[in-house]
Amino acid sequence: MKRSFLDPSPGTLAFGGLVFTSLVLVAIGPPSARKPWAIENASSPASAPSQVAGPDITLVSVSVDLPDDTVPFPDGPHAAVINANCTSCHSATMALSQPRLSRDQWKAIVEKMRATYKAPVPASAVPEILDYLTAMSGKLPVNGSPTAASADRSGGTG
Ligand code: HEC
């Protein structure tokens, strides 16, 4: 049986497919040849802010240096639990900077973290986190130095 170009044999089809796939892969290049989009397009801090102007709007890129705050919650009752549950979104310092609050007030904050901000904090961890916050609240250092908090571990409320 004579086959035309428009009626290729299965073998020809398979070979053609192989050649086509190879050409596509060569065109794309190896993974190492590609940079992630974000890196390619991120403006380096040294460069002047880039600007995109539209008909009614001008978008300006700015570069912001966020503070590098890796201070954990200082030692205290269930410090490990609160460090495991409460440091993924904001620094411990952020939570430590609150005034002395009652257990109920802390409970409202922790529930806000869970319900509103979707913090993946298991309900079983909440009482321990409240123990920590109630015991440590007001004694916590706002400057991130753990010494102020570790000075008094009496657990007293006064
Ligand atoms: C899913 C992310 C997330 C997690 C996890 C999380 N938080 Fe927050 N937290 C937020 C956001 C968002 C804010 C609000 C930040 C702002 O207002 O600038 C916030 C604010 C706070 C504040 C400031 C007071 C307030 O009411 O806004 C405290 C205190 C706090 N968090 C404590 C905690 C504690 C304790 C935990 C662990 C139980 C926790 N956070 C876990 C997202 C989170």
Q: Is 93 or 39 the better-scoring residue by pLDDT?
A: 93
What are the φ and ψ backbone dihedral angles of 70, each rounded to 5 degrees?
Answer: -115, 20
Res 59 pLDDT > 80:
yes
Q: What angle do CA 100, 101, 103 make, to 5 degrees?
A: 135
Q: What spacing in Å lies between the alpha carbon of 90 and ligand 1's midpoint? A: 7
Q: What spacing in Å lies between the alpha carbon of 148 and ligand 1's midpoint? A: 22
pLDDT of residue 27: 83
Banded model confidence at residue 48, pLDDT cuts 50, 70, 90: low
Distances (CA, A) of 117 to 4, 17, 73, 121, 127: 65, 50, 20, 11, 19
Atom of ligand 1 nearest to the CA of 82: 37
